[in-house]
Chain A
Amino acid sequence: RKEVEQDPGPFNVPEGATVAFNCTYSNSASQSFFWYRQDCRKEPKLLMSVYSSGNEDGRFTAQLNRASQYISLLIRDSKLSDSATYLCVVYNFNKFYFGSGTKLNVKP
C-alpha cells in the first residue's frame, strides 16, 4: 500500500472556480503534512504546511483530518497561474513521502 495516495486528475476548471483536492495517508503516526506545487519540468515548491486546526493562505485553505487520515486543499477563485500539479506530502520517521500528484488545469 502506498504511503500517500492522491487522485491524479486532471481537474479541468474555469477561471474563478473553487476546486478541492484530497489525499489519504496510510501511517497514523505521521507527524507533519504539506502541500507542494510542481510546474511542468520544474522542481516541487512548498505551497503550505497543513495543521490539525486547518490553515489558510490567501485563496488556499488546507485541512487535516487525523482520524480519517486525509488531507485536503481548497483553492478559491482559481487563476490561470494555478495550473500545476499539486503534491500531497507526509513526514514520518525522518522521511518525507510524496503522493503522485493531482493535475489542475485552469481554463480561461
Chain B
Amino acid sequence: NAGVTQTPKFQVLKTGQSMTLQCAQDMNHEYMSWYRQDPGMGLRLIHYSVGAGITDQGEVPNGYNVSRSTTEDFPLRLLSAAPSQTSVYFCASSYGGALGYTFGSGTRLTVV
C-alpha cells in the first residue's frame, strides 16, 4: 500500500497564480483533511471531508477550495496564491475519529 500520496513535494508560485495540490490514499479511508503548518503555529485545519461528496471548512479555509468526488482523492486548490500561503501543506486520512490520522509527506509551497 502506498498510504497517503501528496504531489508535488515542492512548488514555487508567483503571487496571483492558481494551482492544485493533489492528495490520494489507497486505504479506503472515509475521513480526509488538509492542514497547513507554519513555524510556531502548529497544524491548522484548512478543509476536511467525511466521505465522497461531503466537505466542510476548517479553521483557515479562506483562499482554498476542495472537492471530494471519490473516496481516494482530495485535491486542494489555491485560487490566487498570496505570500501568506507560503507553508507546508499536509494531507491526512483516517477510517474514523477513534483511529487517528495517517499523513502524507507534505508539499512545501513558496509564494513569491
| Interface residues in chain A, defined as those with a beta carbon under 8 Å from any beta carbon in chain B | 8, 31-32, 34, 36, 42-46, 49, 87, 89, 91-92, 94-101
Contact = CB atoms under 8 A, between A and B. Distances in A.
A97 B94 CA distance: 14
If over half of B's interface residues share one DSSP class (helix, strand or loop), that class is named, otherwise mixed; here it is strand
Nearest to B104: A43
A94 B48 contact: yes
B43 A87 contact: yes
Contact of A46 (B33, B48, B102, B104): B102
A86 B62 CA distance: 28
Contacts of A89: 100-101
B42 interface: yes
Contact of B42 (A92, A94, A95, A101): A101
Nearest to A43: B103
Interface string B21-58: 00000000001010100001111010010100000101
A94 B45 contact: no
Contacts of A32: 97-98, 100
Contact of B97 (A8, A36, A46, A91): A91
B31 A44 contact: no
A35 to B, nearest CB: 10
B100 A95 contact: no
A90 to B, nearest CB: 10
Interface of B: 31, 33, 35, 40-43, 45, 48, 50, 56, 58, 90, 92, 94, 97-106
Given A43-B106, A87-B43, A100-B41, A94 B101 contact: no
B93 to A, nearest CB: 11
Contact of A94 (B43, B50, B105): B50
List 5 A-B pairs, minimum CB-CB distance, nearest first: A100-B42, A43-B103, A98-B43, A91-B97, A46-B100
Nearest to B97: A91
A45 B103 contact: yes
